């Protein structure tokens, strides 16, 4: 198709990103060739760019169908902030506003228009016929699984989209979703009457999310410990009932945390207000039912806690997926207790519909298995969604738990002999009651006189439950089939009872290792600067009345606090700074970085930033070397560093770094700038203290060695 700009150029100048992620580039290329595409990508994977970039490459308007008004507004706001002409059309607008939009459309002034499906096709196809008079370049269908009744979120109003191809036979359609099984996928393709299409699937893995499942007993203390270790972070805590959200939020507020409850039973105004406060980081913790989160784009949600068990893996994955959309490390923590399973089992009963009940129970069972598994949680999740995964992910509680195996021969003998004495006719709970000498009525009188009665009083019930599971897992026991499964002995257990075979089992209380830091930043960042930058972002967000993350994501601020750009030009290499945002906010953020650098005698670390990948446009490279070249030429003409600085209106630091570049490449000789004995001292100091703090180096060197000399020597040394 005819294009007006290249995807790479749009990505860098408008969105401020270095390179495409996953298969974005392939998808965009396929669309720009005029084809249809179905894109499956996990939340936070970067679906939006798959249609926003083509929208800006193509000459006409792109129509985006989205089910949620909140989401539309958010997306449009985000685009406007990057200088892209976008708008949405919905029923809340006045006829005047709608007329103005039509006018803009007629004049081809909009690049993206967001609409609800019923708005697009409803009203006697009026709107569709109007669109036919315009240049529509692309249709994007967000949350495309809503079109299928096999999906978990079927919306009948999406069905009308199956008529799109009749009206626009040659306009490409891109359908996007974060969840779709095989059946749903086929249904989407059929419903939309896709032509030369491709399906783009990505791994559903969310590498930046750490999964942890902990016992529910006494969870409040564990929760507070977690929150205390993560002050300032935003997160969502999911509860099963409305009442539970209110109670937990009230408790948290009383204990001094910034929290609020959110559920569908609250007045709309109150809900909107709380959501808004959360989006603006004014409320840090939202305690919510699952009514909260659909259509929330907040990218800096650092944790999602499930205080109650979710009903199924799909829900769990969707909810935990709201953490870490910006790609920074985030936590998903679930507090799991057997009581919840009972409760959910009763909720799963659909009156007069055994089939549906069974489906719901099976899904619940899978959820329980995730909680009980002794293997990698991530692997379990990915396998559930039909993906393969390695046994060890290194970022879930199971992988990070040291498994302590102990000699449990005596314990096994006690348990197995009790099973034998009960003639293999009872389940684990009864066996444990007998072992622990329970006086409950349900324990038959004749069992209270057995020699094994009470032989395991010394251990708490939970430990015995743990050992029962271990014995099952290691095949010392097995379950009988049938409605009321009982514990049976195996050949292996007979060896224990009659041949004194040794038994080794996992200890009940495993040692949880400290979480390994996920390597998301190669270099250390300035924490206090990062916090200050967040404050600046929030202040701007308040002035402009938009959510903070729409200004810049946490990862952009982290980049700033890591690489310390001190010129407008280097700002453009920071992920998330497109030309428009750099122009609008650049000065404020640059000043803050510069002040910080001055106060702490730090210099820019842009040279540590990984070179952009092959997609980097040549112009940037040339420009960068241009400015260095100018400095170099002035130096060759005999000007000193401070003279060049004043001629070029740049700081001496910058000039030194330019010249440092030529020293690094061997064009200039370090000996012309720094005495050789000073060079040796600086090299030695760098070996000892590293190069991240110039101040530290300076303090450990004789006063006669200047910052400039240190910089020059560093520039001449390879980074190791």
Report the interface residues with Zn ion, using CB under 5 A. Answer: 376, 378, 393, 396, 399
**Helix boundaries (H) for 238-282:** 242-254, 268-279
> Does residue 67 bind ligand ADP (CB under 6 A)?
no
> Does residue 299 bind ligand ADP (CB under 6 A)?
yes
What secondary structure does DSSP assign to 301-353, as a single string?
EEEEEESS--SSHHHHHHHHTTS-TTSS-EEEEEEE-HHHHHHHHHHT--TT-
Stretch that binds ligand ADP, among 20-28, 237-245, 508-516, 699-707 (CB under 6 A): 20-28
Long-range contacts: 475-478, Cβ < 8 Å, 24+? 476/412, 476/416, 476/503, 477/416, 477/419
- Nearest-approach distance from CB 398 to Zn ion, in angstroms: 5
Stretch that binds ligand ADP, among 17-25, 245-253, 420-428, 480-488 (CB under 6 A): 17-25
The contact pattern for ligand ADP, residues 219-258, with x = CB under 6 A and - = no contact, is ----------------------------------------
405-436 burial, b for 16+ CB within 10 Å, e for fewer? eeebeebbbbbbbbbeebeeebebebbbbbbb
The contact pattern for ligand ADP, residues 41-60, with x = CB under 6 A and - = no contact, is x-xxxxxxx-----------
CB-based closest residue to ligand ADP: 46
**Are the C-beta atoms of residues 617 and 8 closer than 8 Å to each other?**
yes
Numbers of helices and strands, H then E, in the chain: 31, 19
DSSP 700: T
Which of the listed partners (ligand ADP, Zn ion, none) does 86 bind, with a CB threshold of 5 to 8 Å by partner kind? none
Q: Which helix (H) or strand (E) holds 183?
A: helix 182-191
- Nearest-approach distance from CB 46 to ligand ADP, in angstroms: 3
CA–CA gap between residue 298 and residue 288 (Å, rounded): 15
Stretch that binds ligand ADP, among 40-48, 430-438, 566-574, 688-696 (CB under 6 A): 40-48
> Does residue 317 bind ligand ADP (CB under 6 A)?
no
Q: Taking the CB of residue 636, how many other CB atoms lie within 10 A of it?
A: 10
- Nearest-approach distance from CB 49 to ligand ADP, in angstroms: 4
When the beta carbons of 17 and 384 are compared against ligand ADP, the nearer one is 17
> Does residue 395 bind ligand ADP (CB under 6 A)?
no
Tokens at 162, concatenated: 């199956």
> Does residue 66 bind ligand ADP (CB under 6 A)?
no
Secondary structure of residue 265 in the 3-state scheme: coil
Stretch that binds ligand ADP, among 38-46, 307-315, 346-354, 388-396 (CB under 6 A): 38-46
> Does residue 202 bind ligand ADP (CB under 6 A)?
no
The contact pattern for ligand ADP, residues 460-499, with x = CB under 6 A and - = no contact, is ----------------------------------------
- Nearest-approach distance from CB 141 to ligand ADP, in angstroms: 13
When the beta carbons of 348 and 381 are compared against Zn ion, the nearer one is 381
Which of the listed partners (Zn ion, ligand ADP, none) does 212 bind, with a CB threshold of 5 to 8 Å by partner kind? none
CB neighbour list of residue 577: distance below 8 Å, 6 or more residues apart: 16, 552, 556, 571, 586
Question: Contacts with ligand ADP in 566-585 (CB under 6 A)?
Answer: 575
> Does residue 20 bind ligand ADP (CB under 6 A)?
yes
CA atoms within 13 A on the CB side of 302: 14
Long-range contacts: 428-433, Cβ < 8 Å, 24+? 428/465, 428/468, 428/487, 431/468, 431/487, 432/456, 432/461, 432/464, 432/465, 432/468
- Residues of this chain that interact with ligand ADP (CB under 6 A) are 17, 20-21, 24, 41, 43-49, 299, 325-326, 553, 575
């Amino acid at each position: 198709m005819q294009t007006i700009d290249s995807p790479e150029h749009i990505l860098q100048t408008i969105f401020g990103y270095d390179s495409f992620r996953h298969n974005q580039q392939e998808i965009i290329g396929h669309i720009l060739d005029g084809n249809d595409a179905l894109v499956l990508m996990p939340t936070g994977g970067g679906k939006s760019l798959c249609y926003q970039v083509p929208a800006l490459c193509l000459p006409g308007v792109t129509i985006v169908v989205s089910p949620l008004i909140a989401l539309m507004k958010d997306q449009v706001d985000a685009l406007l902030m990057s200088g892209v002409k976008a708008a949405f059309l919905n029923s809340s607008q006045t006829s005047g506003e709608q007329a103005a939009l039509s006018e803009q459309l007629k004049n081809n002034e909009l690049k993206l228009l967001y609409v609800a499906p019923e708005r697009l096709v409803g009203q006697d196809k009026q709107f569709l016929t109007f669109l036919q008079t315009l240049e529509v370049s692309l249709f994007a269908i967000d949350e495309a699984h809503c079109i299928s009744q096999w999906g978990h979120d079927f919306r009948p109003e999406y069905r009308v989209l199956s008529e799109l191809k009749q009206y626009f036979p040659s306009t490409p359609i891109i359908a996007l979703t974060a969840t779709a099984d095989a059946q749903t996928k086929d249904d989407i393709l059929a419903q939309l009457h896709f032509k030369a299409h491709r399906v783009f699937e990505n791994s559903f893995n969310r590498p930046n999310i750490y999964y942890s499942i902990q016992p529910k007993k006494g969870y409040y203390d564990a929760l507070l410990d977690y929150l205390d270790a993560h002050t300032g972070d935003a997160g969502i805590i999911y509860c099963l009932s409305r009442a539970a959200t209110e109670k937990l939020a009230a408790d948290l507020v009383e204990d001094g945390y910034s929290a609020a409850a959110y559920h569908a039973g609250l007045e709309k105004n109150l809900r909107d207000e709380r959501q808004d406060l959360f989006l603006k980081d004014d409320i840090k913790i939202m305690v919510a039912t699952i009514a909260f989160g659909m259509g929330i784009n907040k990218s800096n949600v650092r944790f999602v806690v499930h205080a109650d068990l979710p009903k199924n893996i799909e829900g769990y994955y969707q909810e935990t997926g709201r953490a870490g959309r910006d790609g920074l490390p985030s936590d998903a923590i679930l507090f799991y207790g057997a009581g919840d399973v009972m409760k959910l089992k009763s909720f799963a009963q659909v009156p007069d519909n055994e089939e549906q009940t069974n489906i719901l129970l099976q899904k619940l069972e899978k959820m329980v298995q995730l909680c009980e598994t002794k293997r990698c949680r991530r692997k379990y999740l990915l396998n559930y969604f039909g993906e393969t995964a390695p046994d060890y992910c290194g970022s879930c509680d199971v992988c990070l738990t040291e498994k302590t195996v102990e000699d449990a021969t005596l314990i096994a003998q006690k348990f197995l002999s009790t099973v034998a004495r009960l003639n293999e006719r009872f389940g684990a709970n009864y066996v444990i009651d007998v072992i622990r000498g329970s006086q409950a009525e349900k324990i038959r009188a004749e069992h209270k006189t057995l020699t094994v009665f009470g032989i395991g009083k010394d251990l708490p019930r939970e430990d015995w439950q743990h050992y029962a599971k271990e014995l099952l897992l290691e095949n010392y026991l097995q379950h009988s089939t049938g409605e009321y499964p009982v514990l049976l002995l195996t050949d292996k257990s007979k060896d224990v009872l009659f041949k004194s075979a040794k038994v080794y089992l996992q200890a009940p209380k495993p040692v949880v290792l400290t979480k390994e830091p996920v390597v998301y930043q190669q270099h250390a960042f300035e924490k206090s600067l990062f916090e200050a930058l967040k404050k600046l972002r929030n202040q701007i967000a308040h002035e402009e009345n938009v959510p903070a993350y729409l200004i810049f994501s946490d990862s952009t601020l982290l980049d700033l606090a890591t690489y310390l750009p001190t010129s407008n030009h280097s700002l453009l290499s920071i992920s998330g700074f497109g030309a428009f945002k750099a122009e609008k906010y650049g000065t404020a953020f640059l000043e803050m970085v510069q002040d910080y650098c001055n106060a702490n005698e730090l210099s820019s670390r842009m040279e540590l930033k990984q070179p952009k990948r092959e997609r980097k446009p040549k112009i940037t490279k040339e420009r960068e070397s241009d400015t260095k070249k100018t400095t170099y030429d002035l130096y060759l003409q005999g000007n000193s560093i401070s003279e060049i600085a004043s001629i070029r209106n740049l700081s001496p630091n910058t000039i030194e770094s330019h010249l440092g570049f030529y020293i690094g490449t061997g064009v200039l000789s370090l000996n012309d700038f720094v005495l050789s004995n000073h060079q040796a001292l600086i090299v030695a100091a760098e070996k000892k203290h590293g190069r991240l703090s110039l101040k530290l180096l300076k303090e450990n060197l004789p006063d006669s060695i200047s910052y400039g000399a240190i910089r020059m020597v560093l520039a001449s040394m390879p980074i190791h």
